[in-house]
Copies of this chain bind each other. A is one copy, B any other.
Amino acid sequence: MTRVIRIAAAQMGPTQRDDTRARTLGRLIVLLEQAAEAGAQLVVFPELALTTFFPRWMLEDAELSAQFEDAMPNPGIQPLFDRARALKIGFYLGYAERTSDGERFNSAVFVDSEGTIVGHYRKVHLPGSVEPIPDARYQQLEKRYFQYGDRGFKTFRGNKKLGGAIVGMLICNDRRWPEAWRCLALQGMELLCVGYNSAAYDPNGGDTESEELRTFHSTLVAQANAYMNACWAVAVAKAGNEDGAGLIGGSCIVDPNGRIVAAAKTVADEVIIADCDLDLCKQGKKKMFNFDAHRRPQWYSRIVEMGAAAPIDGDI
């Protein structure tokens, strides 16, 4: 079994609030076909790939409801699943999930190249707030619209065509939290897939980090966490100007040494490709990051015992 898999990161340009689902699905299928044409066995789409980044608005019930998927797949999404299975290409897809109990999550599925859903993740690190900021044009209401992910961090195996890769999924803000990567790496993760929608600037006009700095942060955490966990990382943006709110691009594929091997150049729909040798993870996993030889978990207890930071004056 070859362990080199060709992976596509399918960055999406903006999706506007008024775009139809059919239009967006059409874009996803075009990107899928471009990836397949380039010989990819796996394509990674962004977070909330089926809609605009709707947590930026306080939405009325009907419009909010229309952002969610009650099943995955469902008739509206089935053409993407069908096309992927016909092309024998696996995919990661972020979407807004609503369960039969009415629970709502910011979720992603991983479909292998036989068309089987082998991974299902619900975002743990929700940014934003429950209550809207008064009088602000744009909000970040993920904590209002979604419940915290309740499935933890689980790896799964890709099928033979995907090299039997041990895969982990994260969503957007999760990638900035080293705890999330480590929980996956402790299960042998070789490939991390993460889609994101990350603000390029404060859409309400505040004077905070520049788009360049935010893109640097996004790339930096993908590179360093890939290195420190000896895995490949595929980080994929929904990018560009969504109804006046900017999203960074910066989609990239990173090797287990933390080096960028492919990077998007635009903030539009764009497919980038890399051949990823899963066995390149071995060097790090056996030597520098040989967890068995070098980790000292007895000293890490604050990580699970503390939520907030609590400044403590140490003694000598």
What residues make up the interface of A, taking CB atoms closer than 8 Å to B? Answer: 117-120, 124-127, 148-149, 152-157, 166, 173, 176-183, 185-188, 208-209, 213, 216-217, 220-221, 223-225, 227-228, 257-259, 283, 285, 288-289, 291-292, 294-316
Contacts and interface: CB of A to CB of B under 8 A. Distances in A.
Determine how many copies of this chain the complex contains: 2
B179 A182 contact: yes
B182 A303 contact: yes
Contact of A217 (B127, B154, B258): B258
Nearest to A208: B283
B228 A221 contact: yes
Given A124-B296, A291-B307, A257 B187 contact: no
A35 B257 CA distance: 34
A156 B303 contact: no
A182 to B, nearest CB: 6
24 contacts: A119-B314, A125-B294, A125-B296, A153-B302, A154-B312, A154-B314, A177-B228, A178-B181, A178-B225, A179-B182, A180-B299, A182-B302, A182-B303, A186-B303, A187-B302, A187-B311, A188-B311, A217-B227, A217-B257, A224-B224, A291-B308, A295-B307, A298-B304, A301-B304
